[in-house]
Chains A and B, each alone.
Chain A
Amino acid sequence: MARYAREVAVVAFAQSDHLRRTDELSEVEMVMPVLHQVLAATGLKAGEIGFTCSGSSDYLAGRAFSFTMTLDGVGAWPPISESHVEMDGAWALYEAWVKIQTGEADTALVYSYGKSSPGSVRDVLTRQLDPYYVAPLWPDAVALAALQAQALIDAGEADEAALAAVGARSRDAAVANPHAQLRGPVPQGDYQVRPLRTGDCPPIGDGAAAVVLAAGDLARRLCERPAWITGIDHRIEAHSLGLRDLTDSPSTRLAAEHAGVFEAPVDTAELHAPFSSQEVVLRKALGLTDEVSVNPSGGALAANPMMAAGLIRIGEAAARIHRGASRRAVAHATSGPCLQQNLVAVLEGDAR
């Protein structure tokens, strides 16, 4: 402990049901119920929150400044202190955590959402690639993940059966998660981009999530068993895939070291691995043994709302601590192709 100036905990978490499409809902209508749920769980009103931060991407819906619309669901009048990241909400949580560390806020509302259904997410994600050498070729997220999967197979670290088992285990676990999009057995299916089959890939869907952070004794008052963030860090690797060893994730390992993951055993890991092969890479980077419960929520292979799936990993890990099912958990979020950037957080409950 005493890694940071202030004790900060996740005191509430809520998520929407994740659905293939939600045409009847505007983004604010999708976000608002989860905002109401997390605020109700803490008893806080929107005006009492010290800092609000959201994560989303205009490219998903094809609309400029789409995040300003969802502020209507927060209740942004009278004026609030607010920020936004054009990234997964896990990075919005990081910004909010920093804000609380500086002493400028004692509480924070963090939310994120993604509607992938209006566009073709495989095409949309190519626009985040190097615009000079890579984006003009339009390699989609499945193709890039497939290159990583083949590299793992060539290195003898996985085979197609092992990858299929990751997907099957995730969707089995998701049976207990009423919000998940894919629950129970899913056919392994045809190759999408070989060696990845349908079952190795995440569902495409729409969804939202929200978290409330609070500092110190306030967290204890707002939540019976706060999920203390005892470590958090994020790291990035070179953008060129040809410079990276795709079978490893040194940025995850480094972030984990700085977050203190390796200082004591964890019992739970919520990993943001949209492709089965990425779970193999992350397990190795984080040194997870078979005793650790990995993605008991079903993970991103069961529901992968873009820009929210990483925040949901932190929320799911926190929720297990809230209900006493975990004592020390690691949560992970990723962004960019083939695990380019990674955020790692350690969440702990008070001993009892």
Chain B
Amino acid sequence: MTAASPPEILRAPLVVEFPFTRSLGPVQSAFLTGLREGTVLGVKTSDGKVMVPPVEYDPVTAEEIRELVEVGATGTVTTWAWNDRPRSQQPLDTPFAWVLVRLDGADTDLLHALDAPGPDAVRTGMRVRVRWAAERTGAITDIACFEPYDGPAGGEAVPHDGDFADAVTGIVAEARLDYVYSPGRAQTAYIAALSERRTVGERCPSCHKVYVPPRGACPTCGVATTDRVEVGPAGTVTTYCIVNIKAKNLDIEVPYVYAHIALDGAGLALHGRIGGIPYDQVRMGLRVEPVWTEGGRHPDHYRPTGEPDADYDAYKELI
């Protein structure tokens, strides 16, 4: 047993990407299809207010609203903020203003980007118009951005049936977030030891259970596990199952045995595959040892040591 000394904390890039497929109701479908066709639609509430972008339910009365209207592609900035350093996924890659725009004929504001030469060229009350994207698919980004405009104002909102050929009924919301992941002190030590083909856990100072892999806390006692302990390399199969379904991208012939293995000295079992023995001869109590492959960062599988089986009483608490 040694006091845990802080090795260099591991850090690695972690990319999380998720495409959410979302279906659109009748109102959002009409709005986004309209953008594809170069038409801006809103909805009219029961008290005659025109909402752009449109919502399906009145935010005040919660009434369903379906009365579509067409508004202008020109409007007025109601507030703005100058963005000197655009972030990678934002609408423009040159400095731009974030704006809330009240389109001509609308009573609410749309958030988007305004392409302008600098902050001195932007003010609340300035007139703007939509700059359409060259290729449009039925998404809010079909509006590439707004641009300054000094032509005539649009008129009132006019009724629109919302019918378009080949209506957009769903969007795929792609997102990518970049992280630098650090597993913290305890798991760094575990991973660092594996690179030397050793397995380390941490012992709870209160109940003395040894956790493998260690996460830094004893969930029973709710205290930090600070004493590092080397366990294994051999261990005992505490329970197992026979896998008959071949997993995608996994180069292992079925059937094979997947087992819980209590390494000697550990207070709970790890998972691992059992090899070097016919699948139907694996049993609870079988003594096994890890098999490492060249360059492997963890044991590839475990094989029988040839020792007599462990007594049930020796591992029954670890099942």
Question: With a CB–CB cut-off of 8 A, which chain A residues contact B32?
Answer: 132
With A32-B222, A143-B83, A147-B80 as given contacts, are A62 and B16 in contact (CB-CB < 8 Å)? yes
Q: Mark B69-107, 1 if CB is under 8 A from A, else 0.
A: 000000000111111100101110000001010000000
Question: With a CB–CB cut-off of 8 A, which chain B residues contact A24?
Answer: 6, 9, 182, 184-185
Question: With a CB–CB cut-off of 8 A, which chain B residues contact A196?
Answer: 81
Size of interface on B: residues with Cβ below 8 Å to A: 63
Identify which of residues 18-52 in chain B touch chain A, using a CB-to-CB cut-off of 8 Å.
20, 22, 24, 28, 32, 51-52
Task: Tell me if A158 counts as interface (CB < 8 A to partner B).
Answer: no
Question: With a CB–CB cut-off of 8 A, which chain B residues contact A105?
Answer: none
With A120-B178, A139-B90, A195-B81 as given contacts, are A147 and B100 in contact (CB-CB < 8 Å)? yes
Identify which of residues 198-250 in chain B touch chain A, using a CB-to-CB cut-off of 8 Å.
215-224
**Smallest CB–CB gap between A193 and chain B, Å?**
5
- Is B87 touching A123 in the complex (CB atoms < 8 A)? yes
What's the A-B contact tally at a CB cutoff of 8 Å? 180
Task: Say which size band chain A's interface belongs to.
Answer: 35 or more
**Smallest CB–CB gap between B212 and chain A, Å?**
14
Cβ-defined partner of B141 (8 Å) among A77, A136, A139: A136
- Is B110 touching A118 in the complex (CB atoms < 8 A)? no
With A74-B222, A132-B32, A154-B124 as given contacts, are A193 and B185 in contact (CB-CB < 8 Å)? no
Identify which of residues 159-215 in chain A touch chain B, using a CB-to-CB cut-off of 8 Å.
191, 193-196
- Is A194 touching B216 in the complex (CB atoms < 8 A)? no
Cβ-defined partner of B173 (8 Å) among A74, A124, A136, A193: A136
- Is A191 touching B223 in the complex (CB atoms < 8 A)? no
Q: Mark A15-35, 1 if CB is under 8 A from B, else 0.
A: 000000001111111001001
- Is A242 touching B216 in the complex (CB atoms < 8 A)? no
Cα distance A117–B246 when bound, in Å?
39
With A62-B181, A193-B82 as given contacts, are A26 and B109 in contact (CB-CB < 8 Å)? no
- Is B222 touching A150 in the complex (CB atoms < 8 A)? no
Identify which of residues 296-348 in chain A touch chain B, using a CB-to-CB cut-off of 8 Å.
none
Cα distance A236–B124 when bound, in Å?
27
- Is A72 touching B79 in the complex (CB atoms < 8 A)? no
Question: With a CB–CB cut-off of 8 A, which chain B residues contact A133?
Answer: 53, 110-111, 140
Task: Tell me if A138 counts as interface (CB < 8 A to partner B).
Answer: yes
With A26-B216, A35-B222, A241-B100 as given contacts, are A131 and B22 in contact (CB-CB < 8 Å)? yes
- Is A29 touching B224 in the complex (CB atoms < 8 A)? yes
Closest to B211 in A: A72
Cα distance A253–B262 when bound, in Å?
58
- Is B179 touching A29 in the complex (CB atoms < 8 A)? no
Question: With a CB–CB cut-off of 8 A, which chain A residues contact B112?
Answer: 137
With A72-B219, A123-B177, A137-B91 as given contacts, are A25 and B20 in contact (CB-CB < 8 Å)? no
Cβ-defined partner of B79 (8 Å) among A118, A139, A150: A150
Closest to A243 in B: B108
With A118-B14, A149-B81 as given contacts, are A124 and B177 in contact (CB-CB < 8 Å)? yes
- Is A242 touching B215 in the complex (CB atoms < 8 A)? no
Q: Mark B170-187, 1 if CB is under 8 A from A, else 0.
A: 010101011111111111
- Is A150 touching B173 in the complex (CB atoms < 8 A)? no
Cβ-defined partner of B111 (8 Å) among A32, A149, A242: A242
With A132-B32, A149-B81, A241-B109 as given contacts, are A76 and B184 in contact (CB-CB < 8 Å)? no
Task: Tell me if B297 counts as interface (CB < 8 A to partner A).
Answer: no
Cα distance A238–B141 when bound, in Å?
22
**Smallest CB–CB gap between A207 and chain B, Å?**
15
**Smallest CB–CB gap between B282 and chain A, Å?**
30
- Is B184 touching A194 in the complex (CB atoms < 8 A)? no
With A23-B9, A193-B98 as given contacts, are A150 and B81 in contact (CB-CB < 8 Å)? yes
Question: With a CB–CB cut-off of 8 A, which chain B residues contact A32?
Answer: 216-217, 222-224
Question: With a CB–CB cut-off of 8 A, which chain A residues contact B24?
Answer: 132
With A26-B186, A26-B187 as given contacts, are A138 and B90 in contact (CB-CB < 8 Å)? yes
- Is B59 touching A25 in the complex (CB atoms < 8 A)? no
**Smallest CB–CB gap between B253 and chain A, Å?**
31
Identify which of residues 140-160 in chain B touch chain A, using a CB-to-CB cut-off of 8 Å.
140-141
Cβ-defined partner of B124 (8 Å) among A150, A238, A242: A150
Task: Tell me if B255 counts as interface (CB < 8 A to partner A).
Answer: no
With A123-B87, A143-B98, A243-B59 as given contacts, are A26 and B185 in contact (CB-CB < 8 Å)? yes
Cα distance A138–B112 when bound, in Å?
10
Q: Which residues of B approach A to under 8 Å, CB–CB?
A: 6, 9, 11, 14, 16, 20, 22, 24, 28, 32, 51-53, 55, 59, 78-84, 87, 89-91, 98, 100, 108-113, 119, 124, 139-141, 171, 173, 175, 177-187, 215-224
What are 8 residue pairs bridging A and B, where the CB atoms are less than 8 Å apart in the complex?
Answer: A29-B217, A72-B216, A76-B219, A132-B22, A137-B112, A147-B100, A154-B124, A191-B82
Apart from A61-B181, A132-B171, A136-B141, list 8 A-B contacts with CB within 8 A.
Answer: A35-B222, A72-B217, A74-B222, A132-B140, A137-B111, A137-B141, A193-B81, A240-B53
The 5 closest A-B pairs by CB, nearest first: A75-B222, A26-B184, A242-B109, A146-B81, A194-B82
